[in-house]
Structure 1
Amino acid sequence: MFGWLSLFFQPVFMNQFRKQLYFYTQDKDPSYISQFILSLWFVVCFCFLKPKIVGVYSWKLPYYWYPHIDFSQFKFFDPCRMLIQTLWIICIVQPKKLTEDISFSQGISIVWQQIGRIFYLPFKWLSTLISWLEGRSSYYSIDSSKNNNMKRSLLSQFANIAIGTVIFFLAVLCFTIPFGLEAQAFFIVTLWSIAMMFRRMPGRFPTILLITFSVTMSFRYIWWRYTSSLNWDDPLALFLGCILLMAETYAWIVLILGYFQNIWPLNRQPVSLPTEQSTWPTIDMMIPTYNEDLDVVKATVYSALGIDWPKDKLNIFILDDGKRDSFKEFAEEIGVGYIRRPTNEHAKAGNINYALKQTSSEYVAIFDCDHIPTRAFFQMTMGWFLHDKKLGLIQTPHHFFSPDPFERNLSNFGDVPNEGCLFYGLIQDGNDLWDASFFCGSCAILRREPLEKVGGIAVETVTEDAHTSLRIHRLGYRSAYLRKPLSAGLATETLSAHIGQRIRWARGMAQIFRVDNPLFGKGLRWQQRLCYVNAMLHFLSGIPRIIFLLAPLVFLLLHTYIIYAPALAIILYVLPHMAHASMTNSRMQGEYRYSFWGEVYETVLSWYIARPTTVALFAPHKGTFNVTAKGGLIEDTHYDWMISKPYWLLIFLNVLGIGFGLYRLSWGPDDEVGSVIVNLLWVFYNLLILGGAIAVAEEAKQVRKNHRVVVNIPMSIHLPSGHKVRCEIKDFSLGGLRIELPRPVELFYGHTLNLILQRGDHHFVFPAKVTYSRGQSLGVQLESFTRQQNIDYVQCTFARADVWTKSQISYQSDKPLKSMLSVFKVGIRGYKNAIAYGPKWIKGIAKLIIILSKFLLTFKPVDVNIQSAKLCG
């Protein structure tokens, strides 16, 4: 049959192909199939391709149009590849080339002309209104008599009320007035264009403008969801749609409260202390401990001994709930207080409350046993207490010199802000404006008087710190937040420990919301109530996050419309809400939280905090305090399959949804194609976020017991030859240092030398031995120290007043698209690593999927070099 058809076409067309055909088939006699397909290509070019676009004779050169096909040896699926490529050339390449007749500048000019016509009348009316208002204001400003001043004052008050009322009703109209799809699209383009113009401008006004636009689009979205997108005819769709709507309402409330909370960070600065030290107050510094190693506690105590505060006004106590004699001996050896209580009720809160009864200083400073304070801690913070007699507490950031599990397992320590950066960098500073910054359990000072008035540290919930500050605020005392890293500690070592810590925080915040809700009760201003409520709502994100991960599957698997609206309407309402929220948060949070990374953090925690927060809301007194482990080691890199089980279940369901989606896309009703595509895109996004979650479950190897701190500190070394060399410390730990020399020095492994470090006007000498010497880089290990040398070394390194300020990482501003790409790369890496650690049958399935994917990619259309085709033709 093919031979007959080729003979039929050959007299008409094949004479023009013969020479070139032999060139493409490498001088081999072309088969009948090749002759037929190439002849058919000639017919397609003649009928569908314009000579203006492809050249008059370029139809004779199929090689340039099909570079991925070998015409000398046709493969079984090559006709399909040719068909797809031909359709792509006809439908995509040709129309694209035809539109090139209109230049880009001409197209922009046409667009601006249309925009100008649309906006001319509104701008003209607005200009007239402003001129009239200016005229009226100048008219009232002419009269200078007292009576007229009184009238003017009354008129201005009336005018303010009237303007506020008008703005309120205009806002309600803007939020609620129904738009057609065309009007909604125009509204979106207008606000987005203005937002894009202002988003890079400095100052607070652009931020407030972006917040206004985001609030507008979010209000319009949530109003549309409540009024126009519920399926009242299908009980199942209505029920599931209401569940999704509740999750969206939660996210919307948190978004609006976040804007309020962070609209104007206070950025409080230290207040100087009186020059007369006799007026400085007394402080009890408490270091609670339970099951931590003594080595972890030693550094904190050594540093506390060197704090710049009168020795007779500072009392240091180790609060040992573990009842260990080694801790008692250590306290006696170095001369600090030691308190051991007979019972262990109420965990850390009970430990501190017992110590409060044994002490009497005016102020109480609390440090977790792994948080090392700098020598300037009290001098930077105590001035505010003397300045403001109603100040009940002052909190400083929890700065960590070791990477948390996200940073270590994803290898982005120092490149991406960690999970706590947003809270300690922006949220607490925003709270401070509204007098709502709260106690975080460590690195804080509390005035004893209000602390005793509220009965000590709260014991009713497992987040005793936030609950205590809430009670202090109810008494009318104020709080302060000083955003300066004046101490540093160890981050959680493993993902399981990190999740355990967050479970405790989430449970505790839900308990406070239930037993001492800040929305009710006396003593709080409305701004404080909103800030506290937002902090508690944040930890209720587990169930809403899981709902968002499962929502598109309701349509794909059950064929149920939980958002009962056309796909285009969904796009025109959902995307603007998400885009403006992302842009605004990127501007406000860009130095503390990169876009899309919050999705990964919340996804990792969502499954594990959903249950305890729900239980705490209904049974607030259930649950126990768990101590976060610090200072552990991870002997080998491994994958935590246990902790990642929930993520894999969600991945399986989403992959199943893709399969059903492709089925509906191919064989479902034509009017559902848009809805299927929207839900498939949602599923693909969820899968990439889940990929980031499973990437974190790969525990990276951690065998270094002493974490390194990167710095630039001048020092000197005494060489074995007797020479003294000035150099710099590049990083240090409790076990050793890395030093950069001004020039290479001949040193070998095991050589002993003396390190000379400076603290103020004093110099201290520490013995060390060489571990490596490479050029100007020198690594040394510290030798055995005396007790005093240990104290001096910590105070020369960890306790330096400037060490954490200098080592604090300054992140670049967020770039949402770049951040999204990095999250997607992490997601892909997560799947690859999980497969590498998985059993053989998973590796086999993955290999099969890769082979199938590579095969399907061979059908992808490829770019064509049109200019080469024209020249050769």
Structure 2
Amino acid sequence: MDFYFKQFEHRQPPEPVPYSMSRELLYQYLATCNLTLGIWYLWWRWTYALNYDAMWFSFPLVFAESCAFIGSVLFTFNLWKTKDEPRKPAPYLIDECVAEDSPEAGSGRPISIDVFFPTYDEEPELVRLSIIDAQKIRYPHDIEMKIFILDDGKRPAMAAMAQEMGVEYITRENNIGFKAGNLRNALEQTYGDFIVICDADTRPFPTILEHTMGYFRDPNVAWVQTPQWFFDLPEGERLPVWLNRKVGKTGQWLGKVAEKLYGPVTIGQDPYVNDPQMFYDVIQRRRNWVNASFCCGAGSIHRREAVMEAALRSYSEQISKEQVEVEKQIRKITKEKQVDKSVSDNLRQELIFDTEFTPYKFHVSEDIYTSIVLHSDSERNWRSVMHPNVESKMLSPQDLQTWTVQRFKYSGGSIDIFMNDNPIFRKGMNLKQKLMYGASFWSNLSAIWNIIFLACPIIYFLTSIAPVSAYDVSFYLHFIPFVLTAELAMMIGTWGVAGYKGKTNFLSFFPVNLRALWTVLRGRKISFPTTPKERQTGTFGHLVLPQMLVFGLSLISMIYAWGSYFFGGYGNYSMGGLIFNSFWTLNNMMAMWGMIAAAYWSPPPAADTEEESGTEELKYGI
């Protein structure tokens, strides 16, 4: 079968950003200055700069600014320090990976590793590519490694392919728990000391085990996460090539002129902002120093003992929690102060019988949920490691519909955990770990205040009512130092990783995030759809109607306000207010435009456009 990504097989993953102590110290200095200025700015906003004549407008904005500042504080803490775990030689015997008092200590047997490929409806030929690469995994010692296809689709073609390739095949009668249930079913039928979790499209590199297994020499390391890398991200087309394809030679010439004046311009480069380097190389990697890097599923290696122990503890906690709730209802009905011991014992037995033991929580975000359970296990003090180097490659969403489904699932799963089993209130985690998890969950609530940030300049332009006491010198003296230090700190803190697209994407993400929040608040479950591995045909303008509305209102209101100011129309605008809100609006419009353009993006034709355009020198990355 001819897959679209065959043309990208030659690509190599990026190297992790080299650590620099001087850059880290500079970031910490700038971040400290920014937080200090932020506190000063918010104090001034709450005490001196509210517009008391329009509190309906002024209060929501200062509330949004305060919520965003809390997120900045958490993000600053997240980026505070880089501390990579020292790499150690890959172990051979299980004795090298367990504590001295472990039953396995002294057994002298080689370790065993299971590689899991959960699948549901992916094409067998796609999974074949993953299995071929998994069979190339090398290890410096002679150990037992088995590859398993976990087929929730119960497909004869997949079973036949597994037999043909000499790998194990596991299926089940139902799909309870979806991916988490699939993993649990596999754990019940396998015995490897360590488990490599892959998605159906995960293509592991030969080095994945020899580079990561050494971390497990520490008997407290429960899992190792490796960065996910999407090797099929669109590289885009340089502007002259794109214009030549659209309008011909004249367009190509205009594109060249534009690039002479402005510099290189690339159209269609990663339109959905799927590149995960910011998340793995910056956010996750910098959680190592407080043991708070969480599991992200594909590309992770787990210690079976840790998964099973954490599951048993979670199982016990769940039964105890349900027993307390039921006994509370019994006391309410019977008016008794205490439930009879025999009734309590029988109730517990029934709960044990009715509650399923689940090594991987049946949850749309089973990976982060399992991380929370392990990190909160105070008796074992399990550790996680974020390995900095890419050790596999996989496929990214290739259209806005697929991207929306995936982001809704991620956001909804995180919000559901935040609302119903918040790790901040769990016993076992230390304060630093709680702050790190808090940063992740807080960001998923950002749509609440992002809507305010999008609406405020529009309201000002249409009404000339300011949400602050005045856009005067005092305002700019408080606001500009705060914003400038924030941008400088962000630039230094994320040095080597592009971040602007991620920030605009974060703002334009508000409709999906709001829908996820509303779904959880109504008590609805977030679904478990698999992510399509092929581009869905058509355009998806209906998915960006909210962004179109914001873009249109922003543009129209800005034109209206400037027209009123110069031609004496309605409103009492100030030049300072118009300039400030115009920059604000342009930033919002650029964020919305990126998502709108993504809805109509399609990959360029497979034909050799370089030969047709005669612009061979304009290759991506040059």
TM-score bucket of the superposed structures, by smaller chain = 0.7 to 0.9
Contact 1:268/1:483, CA 8 A, preserved across alignment: no
Which residue in 2 is equivalent to 1:360?
191
Residue 378 of structure 2 corresponds to residue 483 of structure 1:
no
Which residue in 2 is equivalent to 1:437?
293
Distance 2:66 2:77 in 1: 17
Write the mapping of 1:192-591 to structure 2, written as runs, cut at 5 A: 202-232=22-52, 234=53, 237-274=54-91, 279-309=109-139, 313-386=144-217, 388-403=218-233, 411=267, 413=269, 419-455=275-311, 456-459=358-361, 461-475=363-377, 476-591=381-496
Write the mapping of 1:70-89 to structure 2, written as runs, cut at 5 A: none
Contact 1:318/1:339, CA 8 A, preserved across alignment: yes
Distance 1:532 1:405, change over 3 A: farther
Which residue in 2 is equivalent to 1:685?
587
Contact 2:197/2:299, CA 8 A, preserved across alignment: yes
Contact 1:633/1:703, CA 8 A, preserved across alignment: no
Distance 1:321 1:415 in 2: 32
Distance 2:124 2:271 in 1: 32
Shift of 1:603: 3.3
Q: Which amino acid aligns with 1:661?
A: A
Contact 2:116/2:148, CA 8 A, preserved across alignment: yes
- CA deviation string 1:119-178 (max 9, x = no partner): xxxxxxxxxxxxxxxxxxxxxxxxxxxxxxxxxxxxxxxxxxxxxxxxxxxxxxxxxxxx
Contact 1:511/1:620, CA 8 A, preserved across alignment: no
Distance 1:433 1:620 in 2: 36
Distance 1:414 1:691, change over 3 A: closer
- SS of 2:559's partner is helix
Shift of 1:207: 2.0
Shift of 1:532: 0.6
Distance 1:279 1:584, change over 3 A: farther
Write the mapping of 1:713-792 to structure 2, written as runs, cut at 5 A: none
Contact 1:499/1:605, CA 8 A, preserved across alignment: no
Contact 2:464/2:571, CA 8 A, preserved across alignment: no
Which residue in 1 is equivalent to 2:526?
623
Shift of 1:655: 2.2
Shift of 1:351: 0.9
Shift of 1:658: 1.4
Distance 1:503 1:421 in 2: 20
Q: Which amino acid aligns with 2:174?
A: T
Distance 2:573 2:464 in 1: 13
Q: Give the structure, 1 or 2, with the largest relative contact order (CA under 8 Å, sep 6 or more).
A: 2
Contact 2:408/2:516, CA 8 A, preserved across alignment: yes
Residue 555 of structure 2 corresponds to residue 655 of structure 1:
yes
- SS of 2:509's partner is helix
Shift of 1:680: 2.9
- SS of 1:284's partner is strand
Distance 2:532 2:605 in 1: 16
Shift of 1:704: 6.4
Shift of 1:471: 0.4
Residue 506 of structure 2 corresponds to residue 602 of structure 1:
yes
Shift of 1:591: 1.3
- CA deviation string 1:480-499 (max 9, x = no partner): 11111111111111122112
Which residue in 1 is equivalent to 2:5?
none
Distance 1:355 1:209, change over 3 A: same
Which residue in 2 is equivalent to 1:118?
none
Contact 1:511/1:621, CA 8 A, preserved across alignment: no
Which residue in 1 is equivalent to 2:578?
676
Equivalent residue pairs, number: 502
Distance 1:358 1:436 in 2: 30
- SS of 1:212's partner is helix
Mean CA deviation greater in 464-473 or 206-215: 206-215
Which residue in 1 is equivalent to 2:248?
none
Distance 1:428 1:406, change over 3 A: farther
Which residue in 1 is equivalent to 2:338?
none
Write the mapping of 1:82-97 to structure 2, written as runs, cut at 5 A: none
Shift of 1:209: 1.5
- SS of 1:697's partner is helix
Shift of 1:416: 12
Write the mapping of 1:706-717 to structure 2, written as runs, cut at 5 A: none
Shift of 1:429: 0.9
Q: Which amino acid aligns with 2:554?
A: N
Shift of 1:447: 1.2
Distance 1:671 1:691, change over 3 A: closer
Distance 2:227 2:143 in 1: 27
Contact 1:543/1:607, CA 8 A, preserved across alignment: no
Shift of 1:419: 3.9
Larger radius of gyration: 1
TM-score (norm 1): 0.54
Q: Which amino acid aligns with 1:655?
A: L
Contact 2:458/2:554, CA 8 A, preserved across alignment: yes
Distance 2:541 2:536 in 1: 16
Distance 2:118 2:588 in 1: 42
- CA deviation string 1:644-675 (max 9, x = no partner): 22221111211231133124413267673432
- SS of 2:484's partner is helix
TM-score (norm 2): 0.75
Q: Which amino acid aligns with 2:58?
A: G
Q: Which amino acid aligns with 2:47?
A: T
Distance 1:413 1:559 in 2: 38
Contact 1:552/1:682, CA 8 A, preserved across alignment: yes
Shift of 1:468: 0.7
Q: Which amino acid aligns with 2:302?
A: L
Distance 1:683 1:405, change over 3 A: same
Mean CA deviation greater in 648-657 or 309-318: 309-318
Distance 1:204 1:405, change over 3 A: closer
Identify unmatched segments of 5+ residues in structure 1.
1-199, 706-771, 778-808, 813-873
- CA deviation string 1:377-415 (max 9, x = no partner): 1111111112x1111111000011110699999646599
Distance 1:609 1:274, change over 3 A: closer
Distance 1:584 1:349, change over 3 A: same
Distance 1:371 1:669, change over 3 A: closer
Q: Which amino acid aligns with 1:357?
A: E
Which residue in 1 is equivalent to 2:516?
612
- SS of 1:353's partner is helix
Distance 1:280 1:546 in 2: 56
- SS of 1:425's partner is helix
Shift of 1:466: 0.6
- SS of 2:385's partner is strand
Distance 1:402 1:365 in 2: 23
Q: Which amino acid aligns with 2:157?
A: S
Shift of 1:622: 2.1
- SS of 1:378's partner is coil
Contact 2:271/2:601, CA 8 A, preserved across alignment: no
